[in-house]
Structure 1
Amino acid sequence: MTAITAVDSTIALVPGPVNAHSHAFHRVLRGRTHREQGSFWTWREQMYSAASALTPAGYERLATAVFAEMVVSGWTAVGEFHYVHHRPDGTPYADHDMERALARAAAAAGIRLALLDTCYLAGGIGQPLAAAQTRFSDGDAAAWVRRVHSLRAALAEEAGALVTVGAAIHSVRAVPADQLTVIASDLDPALPLHVHLSEQQAENVACLDAHGVTPTELLERSGLLSPRLSAVHATHLTDADIALLGRREVTIVMCPTTEADLGDGIGPARALHDAGATIALGSDQHAVLDPFLEMRGLEHHERLGAQLRGRFTPAEIISAAVDGGRRSLGLGLSDDVVLVRRNTARTAGSDLDQLPLTATAADIAEVRIAGTVVARDGEHTSLGDPGRLYADALTHLDL
C-alpha cells in the first residue's frame, strides 16, 4: 500500500495523488451557482450554458488554467471525462479539435492526462437530446466507438507519453440500453471505462420505471461491470447494487467536495470497499481543487453518515488518492511525488501518516511529475500563477 515518507523533520514525500474524475469546463461555474436554493438539475442548466460557449481555442486556454491549478494544488494525473466533442450544432470539427485542445493543455501544464472520451446519446431515458446536448453526441454507440479508436491513433502521433485515451459512458440516462450492449461488444476491452452511476435518486427511479432494474443492474445486464469499469459517485445504491459492484471488482470514484456542493448525498464508500470495490477520488466540477480536502472529505462523509470516527484508516485514505486513481485510469507505477511541509500552522505536530487529515494544498512545497518539477510554492514553474491564466481564459469565453 502507498505510504508517506519523511524527507526530514520539515518535509514529507507524498506519492502523487490522481484525480480520477474531472470536467475541466465546469471550473467556470465556481462561485457562480449559489444565488438560489436550486438543485443538481438547476445547476445543470448553468453547466450546459457553459458548455455551449466552448471553442477549441477557448477550451485550450481554460483547460490549461485548470490543469495548472491542479498541478499547483498537488494533483499529478487527471481523468478528464470529456463529452464536448463537436460544434454547437453537432457537426464534427475537422480533426478531433476539442480533444487535441485538451491534450495540448495537459502537456503545457505537465500533468498526466487520461482523456476519457464519453458516449452521450440521449437527453434522458427515452428522451431525445436537448439543443444544448447536441454537440455531445455521435448519433449512436457504433459511431462513437469508431471515433474513439480514431482519436487514439490521432493523439498517439502527437500527444506524448503523459497523455493516454480511455472511454466513458455518460450515464444510463444518456446512453440507451441497446447502445450499452454495443459498447460492451465493440469497445477495445483494454481501455479503462468510466460511467456516472446513481448520482441522483431520479436516475434510479427512471431506470426502474423503464427497465425494471437499477442502473447498476442494467450495467450488469449489458455486460459492462468488470474490473476495468470505474463508477463515479455511486451515491444512491441498494444493498444488492453494493454487493454486485464489489463482486465485479469495480472502482468507485468518490468526489466528496462536489457531492457536498451539489447536495448529492453521502455515498456508501466503506460498504463498497468492504464488498470488494476499489475506492478512488476525483474533483469533478472543481468547486475545490485540493487532493487533501477530497481525502478527508471521503472520511468525513463516512463519519457523518455512520456517526463513527475512523471509518477509513489514514493508509486507506492515501491509497484511495493514489493507488485507486492509478487503477481507475489504467496508469502504472510512477515516480510522481508531492513534497508537503510538516511545520505549517496546519501540519505542525501531525503524525506523518495522518497528513491527509491535516494538510491542504497551501502546504505543498513542490510537485514533481515524470521527474520534472512542475510546481513550487503555489506557482507553476513554467506557466506561473493559475489565477492569471484564468483571468485570460475567462475573457475569451462568452459567459
Structure 2
Amino acid sequence: MTTTTYLLEHAWVGERVEPGVVVDVEDGVITAVTLRDRSSSPEAEPRPLQPDHVLLGLTIPGLANCHSHAFHRALRGRTQRGRGTFWTWRDQMYVVAGRLDPDSYFELARATYREMVAAGITAVGEFHYLHHQQDGAPYADPNAMGHALLEAAREAGIRITLLDTLYLSSGFGEPPHGVQVRYSDGSAQAWAERVAAIDAGPGARVGAALHSVRAVPRDALEHVARTHQDVLHVHLSEQVAENEACQAAYGVTPTRLLAAHGLLRPTTTLVHATHLTPADITLIGEASAYVDFCPTTERDLGDGVGPSRHLADAGARLTLGSDSHAVIDLFEEMRAVELDERLATMRRGHWSAAELLTAATATGHASLGWADAGSIAVGQRADLVTLDLASPRTAGTGTDEHAVVFAASAGDVVQVIADGHLVHTRDQVGEIGRELDRVLKAVHA
C-alpha cells in the first residue's frame, strides 16, 4: 500500500490552527498526523521529511453541504427580481422542476456539484424529490432521476448522501397537483420500496427525507417512524404559514407533531427550524437532533432568522447548507449564522469561529452519515481544502480559524483533495463557469 505524504503550511487540527503539519494518507484515509513545530516538545527531533506534496496556505477539512436542491441552481439571478414571497418563488421553482428529465438533471447537477467542489465542499446532502416523469408516471428505471444525481456527484468528485424524499400531499391532506405529481409515489410503502432499489455505488449513500409535515400525512409519519432508523432530514417550520396550517390541522406545532410520532432523534436533521416556540426548542435539544441552517437562502426568501444559539444551548447540533444555491459558499453560511444573530439580538459574540467551522465540517458530515469525515485526524477520510492566505480577502487576517470564518470565501479555495484524490485546482474555475453557462442556457431555452 502506497503512502502519500503532505506537508501543510498551516492546518486546522483539533480545533486550532497549527503550523507545519505533516499528513500521511493511505488508500484515501489519513494514517498519521504529525505536528512538526510543537514548541511543547523542544527536545523532540522532527522526523526526516521529503513530502510528496507541499500545500501552501491554510488547510481545513472538507466542508459538508448538508442541504441541497441541485436543480434550484437554475434560479439564481432570476427569482431575486422584484418583490414576492416564498410562495411566489416556489411557483418559479416549479417551472424549472417541470422541465427536467434524467439527462438534463444530470447535466445541471454535475455542473452544480463542480461549483460546490470548487468551494471546498467534499460531501453534499441532496434533498431529492424530483422523482418521476412530468405526468407522475415512473420512468423505466423508477430511480432514473436519483441515479442521475448519484452519477453527477461521482463525476464531480463529491461524496453524496441522496436524501430521497417522501412527498404525498400538496398541503395537509390535499393531493399533489401540477408539477407536484412528479414528487409523489402515492404511499409511504411505495416510496420505501422504490428507495430500497437505489444502487448508490461507491462514494455515496442513501438516506431518507420527509419533505415537510404539510406534505406527509400522519399515517405516513407513523410508517417512517416504524421502518426507518437511520439518517433522516425534514424541512421544519421554514414559514409561519406552515406552522399556522399545522396548528389548524392537528392542534400542535410541526416540531411537536414530529416528536409525537417518534421522529425527533439523534439521527434526524431539521432543516431551517426558523419559527420555533420555546417548547419546540426544548424538544429538539432534548432529542440531540441536528438543525441545518441555510442563511443565504433564508435571507434571500425573507424567511427570517432562526434561533441558532438557543437551539445549540438546548442540545441541538448545528450544520449548514446552501439549499436553493442563491449562493454556494459555506464560508458565507458560517459567518452568516453569527451575523444574523447579531442583527436579531443587537449583540455580538454568539458563536465562536471554531464552533462554526466544526458545524461546517465534522458535524455536517456526521449528519449525512459520514462520521469518518470532517477532521484532519488519523482514521478520517483524507479531505483537505487549502485556502489562499494572501488574497484580497484574507491578506493580513492572520492564520487562525477567524481568518477562515470571517474573511475567506469560496474564491479563496486553492485546491481540494477528497478521499485522497485531487478533485479541484483553482485553474479549473473558468471551465466550471463555462459548463454552468452552457447547462443553464439549455435549461431556460
Once the two structures are TM-superposed, the CA of residue 53 in structure 1 deviates from its matched residue by 0.5
Partner of residue 340, structure 1: 387
Cα separation, 2, equivalents of 1:324 and 1:177 = 30
Whether the aligned pair in 2 keeps the contact of 1:79 and 1:115 (CA below 8 Å) is yes
Matched residues, percent identical?
A: 49
2:121 match: secondary structure = coil
Q: Which runs of 5+ in 2 are unaligned?
A: 1-13, 22-54, 373-380
TM normalised by structure 1 equals: 0.94
Once the two structures are TM-superposed, the CA of residue 201 in structure 1 deviates from its matched residue by 0.3
Partner of residue 66, structure 1: 112
Higher helix proportion (structure 1 or 2): 1
Given the alignment of the two structures, is residue 391 of structure 1 paired with residue 437 of structure 2, yes or no? yes
Given the alignment of the two structures, is residue 278 of structure 1 paired with residue 324 of structure 2, yes or no? no
Deviations 1:343-379 (A, max 9, x none): 2221122231202110011111111101111111152
Partner of residue 419, structure 2: 370
Once the two structures are TM-superposed, the CA of residue 398 in structure 1 deviates from its matched residue by 4.9
Deviations 1:213-258 (A, max 9, x none): 0000000111111000000000000000000000001000000100
1:165 match: secondary structure = strand
Aligned residues: 388
One-letter code of the match for 1:109? A
Cα separation, 1, equivalents of 2:106 and 2:191 = 22
1:230 match: secondary structure = strand
Whether the aligned pair in 1 keeps the contact of 2:56 and 2:386 (CA below 8 Å) is no
Cα separation, 2, equivalents of 1:295 and 1:326 = 15
**Higher RCO (C-alpha 8 Å, min separation 6):** 1
Partner of residue 113, structure 1: 160
CA radius of gyration, larger in: 2
Whether the aligned pair in 1 keeps the contact of 2:74 and 2:443 (CA below 8 Å) is no
Partner of residue 179, structure 1: 220
Once the two structures are TM-superposed, the CA of residue 397 in structure 1 deviates from its matched residue by 2.4
Cα separation, 1, equivalents of 2:218 and 2:444 = 36
Partner of residue 166, structure 1: 207
2:443 match: secondary structure = coil
Partner of residue 235, structure 1: 274
Whether the aligned pair in 1 keeps the contact of 2:362 and 2:371 (CA below 8 Å) is no
Cα separation, 2, equivalents of 1:7 and 1:60 = 41
Partner of residue 338, structure 2: 299
Cα separation, 1, equivalents of 2:269 and 2:66 = 9
Given the alignment of the two structures, is residue 353 of structure 1 paired with residue 394 of structure 2, yes or no? no
Higher strand proportion (structure 1 or 2): 2
Cα separation, 2, equivalents of 1:14 and 1:100 = 30
Given the alignment of the two structures, is residue 192 of structure 1 paired with residue 231 of structure 2, yes or no? yes
Partner of residue 133, structure 1: 180
Cα separation, 2, equivalents of 1:5 and 1:345 = 23
Please tell me the root mean square deviation across aligned C-alpha atoms, in Å: 1.5
Cα separation, 1, equivalents of 2:17 and 2:147 = 35
Q: Which moved more, 1:233-242 or 1:389-398?
A: 389-398
Whether the aligned pair in 2 keeps the contact of 1:250 and 1:277 (CA below 8 Å) is yes
One-letter code of the match for 1:123? S
Once the two structures are TM-superposed, the CA of residue 125 in structure 1 deviates from its matched residue by 1.2
Distance 1:2 1:103, change over 3 A: farther
Deviations 1:13-60 (A, max 9, x none): 111110000000000000001232100000000111110001000000
Whether the aligned pair in 1 keeps the contact of 2:126 and 2:161 (CA below 8 Å) is yes
TM normalised by structure 2 equals: 0.85
1:11 match: secondary structure = strand
Cα separation, 1, equivalents of 2:264 and 2:394 = 40
Given the alignment of the two structures, is residue 218 of structure 1 paired with residue 275 of structure 2, yes or no? no
1:225 match: secondary structure = coil
